[in-house]
Chain A
Amino acid sequence: MNFDPRFAGRNFTSVGTRPIRPDGVDKVTGRARYGADFNMAGQLVGRVLRSPHAHATIRKIDTSKAQKLPGVKAVITAADLPDLTDGDAAMYDILDNCMARKKALYDGHAVAAVAAVDARTARQALKLIEVDYEVLPHVTDVDEAMKHSAPVLNDAIFTEGLEEKPAKPSNVTKRSQYGHGDVHQGFGQADYVVERTFKTEQTHQGYIEPHACVANVSSDGTAELWVCTQGHFVYRQHCAQLLGMEASRLRVTSSEIGGGFGGKTHVWAEPVALALSRKAGRPVKLVMTRDEVFRASGPTSATSIDVKIGARKDGTITAAEATLRYSCGPYAGMWAELGAMTAFACYRLENVKTVGYEVLVNRPKTAAYRAPSAPMAAFAVESAVDELAKEIGMDPVEFRIRNAAREGTRSSYGPVYGPIGIGPTLEAAKNHPHMKAPLGKNQGRGMACGFWFNFGGQTCTDLNIGMDGSVSLAVGTVDVGGSRASLSLVAAEELGIAYEHVKAVVADTSSLGYNDMTDGSRGTFSSSMATISAARNAILILRERAAQTWDIPVDDVVWEKGHAIAKGEKYGNLAALSLREIAAASGKTGGPIAGHSELVADGAGVSFATHICDIEVDPETGATRVLRYTVVQDAGKAVHPTYVEGQYQGGAAQGIGWALNEEYIYGKDGRLQNPGFLDYRIPVCSDLPMIDTQILEIPNPNHPYGVRGVGETSIVPPLAAIANAVSNAAGVRMTHIPMSPPRILAAIEAER
């Protein structure tokens, strides 16, 4: 059937309501099965040996003593994961990160692994593995790594994106550039110019559940993988390729997930677990410790960013420029490029230029973290915007409203915007009671804006109608933020039945066509589009069955409020047939009734948010307290408003931690000093205020209900909003994240 994905405007019955989440009871009672909650008969315990050095050549690994230890069933090194990537550089990097080959590139890099009958034996075996390292000079700081004198991590890397290929290898993997107009000319038109350098430290997504999986490779070469992931289809593709399997021979089931935020979009230990199981001939369970999670699963980039913005006296920005340096860990990434694309995306600019540099350092491989790269860029830009407004003497909200992008504006990354919500979020913030509330001594208010692209991608859904009229919805996007409830609402909306009669499940990789992973804020956007399509296909069959029952043409049957209705006065005597009635008779009218959909959910709507934050700073200690926080964000259409609010609040809470406390601290030896939640401090309840939310709904024209993604944008403004609040409270501009008490105190004392 033809499926028109464009928003046409409609009134909703189920969508927009707030039913109780279907997975809630299981989660709060402990019945829900997360990554480490699954067990198989005869399973072994997997453990990984990791490099204690930040940078070292691996001369030799002797596993003979470990192999002889009673209870050890398999020991593997890189030799057991041969390079099958056929020149695919990105896959080779994944392989090398899963198990170091020639060099250990960071403290925590996996170098060997064992599978044993119990954890004690596995730990003993690790101690018996002898690795002969040649320790090399290392570099962990992004600015230091760019210097000519820095140790080079990879001799094969020559900076891409330069006009001429460089003669020497470098830690800068790529230069990227965006913008339009002439910034030099633009700055010449400015009455005021602000120029600053900002730094942010590396943070971790801080999900509560560590990476965990159970791998089982059978003697016939087929395999199962139970795993905590944001994308089991992608994990299947990557694991199968790295192990030289056909994807169809590997069945991946996603567990419940205790947080991902981008960190569970990459394989880490899963190929290792499969390789151990293949060698041992038994199932292997591998659960990362928290230490391993911090040391060896993707944190975000540390950054160093220069920003220059100029404006006329009337508050119009005439030019904006940024140079962004992002650490990638030891493998190439596109993190600075994303920062360069998003940095000025909130604004209508005639002259804008951004340049990004991807920089290799001896730290763990950088992974996506919720709107990857955008929060750091927004911190730098929105801090400078605030300072510029102050210099001009304008209210910071009015200054932003004056320069906000709108429909028809050419974005700083290229394309022209369709209908967007930055202006409305700013107007809502301006009129919010929070903005007018009084402040006390040593208290400051800050606000900031943020942008994220969102995207859709490959999506496949099955909708099966049972003979009792209930609906089973099988989706392939992992539920990381309440999508099962939201998708059930969508199915109920289309079919015209009660939400309670729809049960959504995340199907395993053998049960459904390929799905991209739940990232890019795509889960509800893309799977709702597929669910609508699948439901409409099912409705076509329901209409056909009714027409068959009545012996009338199917074109004379319409579907309204969960019923087939014969239209036209000539059918006046025919009572409407409910979905339940049609389903009950399905065995006699042609068999099961189902709808299927496979599509590419392109046309995601971009998303904007404005945040407001009040902070109190103790000038004696530099300690901070977040007093009040408000999130205003465009959802396009909030399918389940409670989940949308939860996403907004979660992003703000993570942003508060990132802005005020969280950071990777490396010693001079290149080793991570704080790989645990005691020393790497994420916010707990007592650190957070109640977080107010305001949902705006500016429909995305490319979705049938107007839905945009909501998961990521909410973490973009907090760093800047909090930095502006702290700067206003402390009376000194803060340029280094996190604004931990020592850093704030030092800034205050430097100003005195």
Chain B
Amino acid sequence: MVEVTLWGSLGALAGGKSKVEIEAKDIRELFRKLAEQYPGLEPLIEKGIAVAIDGTIYRDTWSKELPEGAEIFLLPRLAGG
């Protein structure tokens, strides 16, 4: 079980929650269960969301494991110049 913090706009799509608890072992499973439990998040997950695990931001690595007790933040998929 990991606790996931959602940024403001994302929280609005998860029923106004800023934190949710999910049973997930990696980013792929996290996204799948988030979409199942909070359908409002699915379109954004489809477009791409970054995941910060203990401070390191992952944009694309679905296989990245979520260690027990890790701090998980969902962030927008960043743009650069």
Q: Are B57 and A453 in contact (CB under 8 A)?
A: yes
Separation of A528 and B54 alpha carbons in the complex (Å): 24
With beta carbons under 8 angstroms apart, the residue of B7, B47, B58, B78 that contacts A414 is B7
Within 8 A of B (CB), among A318-359: 334, 337-338, 341
Counting residue pairs across A and B whose Cβ atoms lie within 8 Å, the total is 104
Separation of A519 and B80 alpha carbons in the complex (Å): 5
Separation of A212 and B73 alpha carbons in the complex (Å): 40
Chain A nearest Cβ from B15, distance in angstroms: 11
Chain B nearest Cβ from A630, distance in angstroms: 23
Of the candidate stretches A123-131, A365-373, A639-647, the one touching chain B is: A365-373
With beta carbons under 8 angstroms apart, the residue of B12, B58, B79 that contacts A520 is B79
Of the candidate stretches A134-142, A482-490, A600-608, the one touching chain B is: A600-608
Q: Answer yes or no: A364 CB below 8 A from chain B CBs.
A: no
Q: How many A residues are at the interface, by size bracket?
A: 35 or more
A261 neighbours in B (Cβ, 8 Å): 81
Q: How many B residues are at the interface, by size bracket?
A: 20 to 34
Q: Are B60 and A600 in contact (CB under 8 A)?
A: yes
Chain B minimum-CB-distance residue to A333: B79
Within 8 A of A (CB), among B36-81: 47, 52, 54-61, 64, 71, 73, 75-76, 78-81
Chain B nearest Cβ from A701, distance in angstroms: 8
Separation of A338 and B56 alpha carbons in the complex (Å): 18
Q: Are B7 and A600 in contact (CB under 8 A)?
A: no
Within 8 A of B (CB), among A610-649: none
Q: Are A368 and B80 in contact (CB under 8 A)?
A: yes
Chain A nearest Cβ from B75, distance in angstroms: 6
Separation of A262 and B73 alpha carbons in the complex (Å): 27
Main secondary structure of the interface of A (DSSP, over half): loop
Q: Are A176 and B8 in contact (CB under 8 A)?
A: yes
Q: Are A175 and B56 in contact (CB under 8 A)?
A: no
Chain B minimum-CB-distance residue to A367: B81
Complex interface bits, A445-483 against B, C-beta within 8 A gives 1, otherwise 0: 000000001111110000000000000000000000000
Q: Are A519 and B12 in contact (CB under 8 A)?
A: no
Q: Answer yes or no: A67 CB below 8 A from chain B CBs.
A: no
| A416 in contact with B80 given A90-B47, A163-B16, A177-B9 (CB within 8 Å) | no
Separation of A163 and B60 alpha carbons in the complex (Å): 29
Q: Are A176 and B7 in contact (CB under 8 A)?
A: yes
Within 8 A of B (CB), among A131-174: 160-163, 174
Q: Answer yes or no: A265 CB below 8 A from chain B CBs.
A: yes
Q: Are A520 and B9 in contact (CB under 8 A)?
A: no
Q: Are A372 and B80 in contact (CB under 8 A)?
A: yes
Chain A nearest Cβ from B35, distance in angstroms: 17
Separation of A367 and B5 alpha carbons in the complex (Å): 29
| A372 in contact with B79 given A90-B47, A415-B55 (CB within 8 Å) | yes
Separation of A414 and B81 alpha carbons in the complex (Å): 22
Q: Are B7 and A417 in contact (CB under 8 A)?
A: no
| Sample of 18 further A-B pairs with CB below 8 A, known A368-B79, A368-B81, A519-B80 | A161-B12, A162-B12, A175-B9, A176-B76, A263-B81, A338-B79, A341-B75, A372-B81, A413-B7, A414-B73, A415-B55, A455-B57, A520-B80, A521-B80, A600-B59, A602-B58, A603-B58, A604-B57
28 A-B interface contacts by CB (under 8 A): A160-B9, A161-B9, A161-B12, A162-B12, A163-B16, A205-B81, A265-B80, A265-B81, A337-B76, A341-B75, A341-B76, A368-B80, A371-B81, A372-B79, A415-B71, A415-B75, A416-B54, A416-B55, A416-B71, A453-B78, A454-B80, A455-B80, A519-B80, A522-B80, A602-B57, A602-B59, A712-B80, A712-B81
- Chain A residues at the B interface, C-beta cutoff of 8 Å: 90, 160-163, 174-178, 205, 261-263, 265, 334, 337-338, 341, 367-372, 413-418, 453-458, 519-522, 600, 602-604, 702, 712
